[in-house]
Amino acid sequence: MKKSKLLALMLAMILLLSACAQPAQKPAEEPAPTETKEEAKVDEKEPEKEEAKPEDNYTSLDDFKLFDENNQLLRTGRDDIGENGVVSSGKYEASKIGKGIIEKGGNAIDAAVATAFALALTEANATGIGGGGFMTIHSAETGENIFINFREKAPAAATPDMWQTVTNEEGKEIVIGNQKILGGKSVGVPGFVKGLLYALEKYGTMSREEVLQPVIDLAEKGITVTPTLAADMSGEYDNLMKYSESGDIFLKDVDGMKLPYEVGEIFVNKDFAKTLRIIAEKGDAGFYEGPVAKEIVDVVNKYGGLFTEEDLKNYEVEVMEPVHFTYRGYDIYSSPSPSSGGTIVGEILNIVENFDLPSMAQDDPERLHIFADAFSLAYADRGEYMGDVKFVDVPINGLLNKDYAKKLADKIQTDVAITEPMPDDPWMFEHEDTTHFSVVDIEGNMVALTSTVNYYFGSKVGVPGYGFVMNNEMDDFVAKHDHPNSIAGGKTPLSSMSPTIILKDGKPVAALGSPGGTTIISTVAQVISNIIDHNMGMQEAVDAPRIKGFKDGKITFENRFPEETINALAEKGHTMNPSDDWDRSFGSVNAVLFTEDGKLEGAGDPRRDGKALGF
């Protein structure tokens, strides 16, 4: 497949638009990093790049107001309409870089790759080159739907015994201490750089230098620390101090003391710029081999990891068919195993399809009751059956079977909550801190991309001299032996990430997805229902209050539902657990919808820093 052919693009229309002039803020000075000979060689090329006028590429938060004088996030102004295309991501600067790439003649994949690397800088609490992710693509030209899996894999030496465990009174194996989430034994082999460079090479039109240069410029000039980023930097202060290599990156130096950045300050990451220059120069070999790879292995193993240089060198991206299901006549394509996401979103929507949701209001207690019980049933199956299909058999077709969903729907009673959900038997029906962004153009090309380092700043293991942290994706395995999601060398831990595209009669409808761990699934299902069942616009569907909860009949809800709705649910036996009005733990859906008047409506999630930019 020729890359120039795959995504028919919107160049002509887009070129009419000019890039906005960027008022530059003066970043804090940082000492020059120590360099090995090889990196110094790459850096010697700097003067040439300087001539490319970094200020042309530089973007900042100066021309978008995200938070008020009390450092409270503003919950409006996140949407934008595009006539030709929209980039909607978790950060204004990243959306702007993605949009800028299209304005320079790039296609949707070029823009997605630049946006992904820009998020690795601006939302390093949630994603990064030390992590991995998934990408679902729809090509307008060929009609193909493609899934690129660049999620982390366990290092070859990993076994279910790598974490020390104790057996508790209930016979459950419990991991001792924090090994699962902090330090070297929590780190999976990262796929981010290989995945995105693969996508660029195969489906993009621009060079690595072209897509990475704006991010390099931004890393050198610095980004504005938002309330969301500041909260994660100070919230993880103790861990960033303990794993001092990451503290050196994400804490500021004040008279020799490491302190968290304050809201509004500028965070510069010159080491990250240096790493991107190495990647621009050498491609994925610049990351998976040589000095960067060696430093990754050394620091991961310093903190107890099991990495070898071979693990990095052997990492392979997988190109797969997305999972496909229908919902009230719409075709939905999302993440297949090793994600549970697409499959369980499908199972939930198949269950709720048995009820007349379109006749109910969004805050009707009956509707929320149906969703809560559907979550209970589908998440119970997730926990029982799902793992990496390359290592275990998973009843994907059974889980997505409409008759199976009907069997589960029949368990939902009008008046009583399901409080003890048991996994059912899909085999009988078997016939054979993350970020999400969406890039869409008017031709109908769609990219939905979710990427992660798992927890805020991942394992907290920072790679010295290179400006990034390693993921803690190993935490997504279960500690047990003999479970579909037990650890094995080279296996991918189960994910919930669900980058999703929707089509109707072959025509593009929307691209969406979310961070939020297991909540991703319930979030994506609710937003799809908001669009299809309630005919909401994209921003309205993203803004609408959400529920979550899939155990013990407990529903956690954003505190914007009417009181009578909450009381009615409690009467059915649900344990109602209020949360903030706008709660970032309910995910962050950055999405784009094709509107009936032929435009594109981008939505950025106000629960975090999301911002859509159209053109």
The residues annotated with a catalytic role in the active site are 434
Nearest-angstrom CA–CA distance, 576 and 569: 7
Q: Which is nearer to ligand GLU, 150 or 404 (CB)?
A: 150
CB burial readout 158-179, b (16+ within 10 A) else e = bebebbebeeeeeeeeebeeeb
The single residue listed with the structure tokens 């919950």 is: 75
Nearest-angstrom CA–CA distance, 118 and 276: 11
- Residue 423 vs residues 157, 227, 255, 383, 392: alpha-carbon distances, Å: 32, 40, 57, 8, 18
Per-residue tokens: 231: 């909260």
- Which helix (H) or strand (E) element contains residue 234? helix 227-235
- Give all strands of the β-sheet with 318-320 in edge-to-edge order: 318-320, 145-149, 132-138, 446-452, 435-441, 85-89, 611-614
Nearest-angstrom CA–CA distance, 405 and 352: 8
Distance of CA 487 to the CA centre of its chain: 22
Residue 338: cis peptide before it, omega within 30 degrees of 0: yes
Of 392, 476, 478, the residue nearest 151 (C-alpha): 476
Q: Which amino acid is at 523?
A: T
Residue 517: CB minimum distance to ligand GLU, A: 4
Q: Which is nearer to ligand GLU, 451 or 539 (CB)?
A: 451
Residue 497: CB minimum distance to ligand GLU, A: 5
Contact 122, 223 (CB under 8 A): yes
Nearest-angstrom CA–CA distance, 45 and 32: 16
Residue 322: CB minimum distance to ligand GLU, A: 16
Residue 549: CB minimum distance to ligand GLU, A: 17
Residue 589: CB minimum distance to ligand GLU, A: 12
Q: Which is nearer to ligand GLU, 128 or 515 (CB)?
A: 515
- Residue 176 vs residues 162, 170, 181, 204: alpha-carbon distances, Å: 11, 16, 11, 45
CA neighbours closer than 13 Å in the CB half-sphere of residue 477: 36
Based on DSSP, count helices (H) and strands (E) in the chain, helices before strands: 23, 25
Residue 20: CB minimum distance to ligand GLU, A: 31
Residue 303: CB minimum distance to ligand GLU, A: 19
- Name the site residues for ligand GLU (rule: CB under 6 A): 433-434, 452, 454, 473, 476, 495-497, 515-517, 520
DSSP 89-108: ESSHHHHHHHHHHHHTT--H
Distance of CA 39 to the CA centre of its chain: 30
Which residue has the closest beta carbon to ligand GLU?
A: 434
Of 508, 480, 510, the residue nearest 494 (C-alpha): 480
Q: Which is nearer to ligand GLU, 398 or 515 (CB)?
A: 515
Nearest-angstrom CA–CA distance, 391 and 483: 11
Q: Which is nearer to ligand GLU, 59 or 451 (CB)?
A: 451
Q: Which is nearer to ligand GLU, 187 or 497 (CB)?
A: 497
Residue 415: CB minimum distance to ligand GLU, A: 34
Which class for 391: exposed (0-12), middle (13-18), buried (19 or more C-beta within 10 A)?
A: middle
Distance of CA 586 to the CA centre of its chain: 13
The beta-strand segments (E) located in 176-313 are 223-224, 252-254, 257-259, 266-267
Per-residue tokens: 436: 């999400």
Bridge-based pairing of strands 145-149 and 132-138 is antiparallel
Count of CB atoms within 10 A of residue 582's CB? 17
- Which helix (H) or strand (E) element contains residue 529? helix 519-532
Residue 433: CB minimum distance to ligand GLU, A: 5
- Which helix (H) or strand (E) element contains residue 333? strand 330-334
Residue 496: CB minimum distance to ligand GLU, A: 4
Residue 194, SS3 per DSSP: helix
Residue 571: CB minimum distance to ligand GLU, A: 33
Residue 85, SS3 per DSSP: strand
Q: Which is nearer to ligand GLU, 221 or 382 (CB)?
A: 382
Q: Which is nearer to ligand GLU, 434 or 522 (CB)?
A: 434
Nearest-angstrom CA–CA distance, 7 and 197: 16
Q: Which residues pair with 67 in a beta bridge?
A: 73
Residue 288: CB minimum distance to ligand GLU, A: 21
